[in-house]
Amino acid sequence: MTSDGSEQVRAPATRDPDALIRRAGVRGDPDQDQHFLVDDRVVDRIPTYLPEEADTAHVLEIGGGPGVLTDRLLSVADRVTVVEQDETFAAHLRREFAEEVEDGRLTVVEGDALEVDLPEFTACVSNLPYGISSEISFRLLPRGKPLVLMFQKEFGERMAAESGTSEYGRLSVSAQHYGDVEVCEIVPKEAFDPQPAVQSAIVRITPRTPDYEVDDEEFFLDFVKALFTQRRKTIRNGIRNTAHISGLSDPEAVVDAADEDILRRRAGKMSPTEFAELAQLAADVGL
């Protein structure tokens, strides 16, 4: 709705990906992590993976590139902010979407998404540069907003993995601490130009409060990281061997206080809730 209460009419998304790339005047460079999504069908589906209840008043996009996804987001969001590091692409986006910029519906922030001040946003939908997948994800996740992000397939599957599977690890526990993680679609290499070496995955993260409590979130995440560096060891040995990572000052006190059944387990068999309970115990007796 507009400020006067009337329904806002959005222009349909009609820009062709190949035409957008040509107008940008830049060829994709795999060495710079530039793989442009050119399959219209995939681009059209990406915004639909937002949760039904998601607020699209202000959608954030990381890495707008030639504007293929930006075009689609403008058709579903009241307002879009794009963070784009490449000055050529930033200038192209302002030129290509000049009307939307003028209307205040599109803001282009030129800079590194890991360093710039991110605006307040209601949802984030992005085809991320794969080289910063982990860093940018853990900048976004604590915001507690719905995320639809494109990753390398292996990364996306590890993020959504369940305890006991080969893909389950630190990334799974850490991401699922912030929300429900689902792989919505596997995207073939052929959907991009130039083609990447691997398939991709569109992942939805729906924020929710975890079903456990941790008093010190930073310690919890460091503790999980520490134990997964020793994933082939028992939890007992993992606690003893990784105090330099977890920050424990008295790992033996944690071993003495922990349940024997947990101490015999390995990290890959521990649920996020069990990690949280053990981290709370470790914080109480071992810091």
* pLDDT digits 0-9 by tens, 164-211: 999 999 999 999 999 999 999 999 999 999 999 999 999 999 999 999
Cis preceding-peptide flag for 194 (omega within 30 of 0): yes
User: Are 91 and 126 members of one domain?
Assistant: yes
* pLDDT digits 0-9 by tens, 41-79: 999 999 999 999 999 999 999 999 999 999 999 999 999
User: Are 82 and 132 members of one domain?
Assistant: yes
In a domain, 254, yes or no: yes
Distance, in Å, from the CA atom of 49 to the CA atom of 103, rounded to the nearest integer, reads: 27
Give the pairing type, strands 106-110 and 80-84.
parallel
* Four-point Cα dihedral 19, 20, 26, 32, nearest 10: -120
Reduced to 3 states (helix: H, G, I; strand: E, B; else coil), residue 120 is coil
- The torsion region of residue 144 among left (phi > 0), alpha (psi -120 to 50) and beta comes to left
Distance, in Å, from the CA atom of 208 to the CA atom of 228, rounded to the nearest integer, reads: 24
Query: Could you tell me which residues come within 8 angstroms of residue 42 by beta carbon, excluding any fewer than 6 positions away?
Result: 185, 187, 191
Q: Which domain holds residue 267?
A: 217-286
Query: Is residue 287 annotated as involved in ligand binding?
Result: no
Average pLDDT, the chain: 93
Query: Is residue 35 annotated as involved in ligand binding?
Result: yes
Number of domains present in the structure of the chain: 2
User: Are 149 and 178 members of one domain?
Assistant: yes
* Integer Rg of the chain from CA: 21
Query: Is residue 127 annotated as involved in ligand binding?
Result: yes
* pLDDT digits 0-9 by tens, 209-254: 999 999 999 999 999 999 999 999 999 999 999 999 999 999 999 9
Query: Is residue 84 annotated as involved in ligand binding?
Result: yes
User: Comparing C-alpha atoms, which of 201, 166, 203, 150 is closest to residue 181?
Assistant: 203
Supply φ then ψ for residue 198, to 5 degrees.
Answer: -130, 165
Query: Is residue 63 annotated as involved in ligand binding?
Result: yes
Helix then strand then coil, in percent of the chain rounded to 5, is: 45, 15, 40
**How many CB atoms are located within 10 Å of the residue 98 CB?**
11
User: Are 124 and 201 members of one domain?
Assistant: yes
